[in-house]
Amino acid sequence: MSGPKAFCPKCKREVNCLVEQESLCCPVCRYKFEQSDPGAKPEIRTEKFDLLEAFLKCLRAIFIAALVIAGIFLVLLAFLFAACSHM
């Protein structure tokens, strides 16, 4: 039997809680907490993910720039090879 769905503040998961007296109990970590407003969303800090995302975007930009430079180098090398082969 599944209880109401709620967000456990301890293990940070959305679980089907067990109803015990006037509180809810998380079936995963057994943390007891009171039921809050269903419209309220918990605030989860994502600073680490933002920093990681920024770092990965920077690496992606560097990789794309390196590909563009390599492409330009190959085109110039092809022109040089074509110019030297006609002499």
**Residues 8 and 15 sit within 8 Å (Cβ to Cβ):** yes
Between CA 37 and CA 73 the distance in angstroms is: 61
pLDDT tens digits, one per residue of 51-63: 888 899 999 999 9
Between CA 55 and CA 77 the distance in angstroms is: 33
Radius of gyration of the chain (CA): 28
Between CA 16 and CA 26 the distance in angstroms is: 7
pLDDT tens digits, one per residue of 14-49: 888 777 777 778 888 888 877 664 545 555 555 666
Whether this model's pTM surpasses 0.85:
no
Give yes or no for residue 68 having a pLDDT over 80.
Answer: yes
**Residues 22 and 31 sit within 8 Å (Cβ to Cβ):** no
Q: What pLDDT score was predicted for residue 30?
A: 84
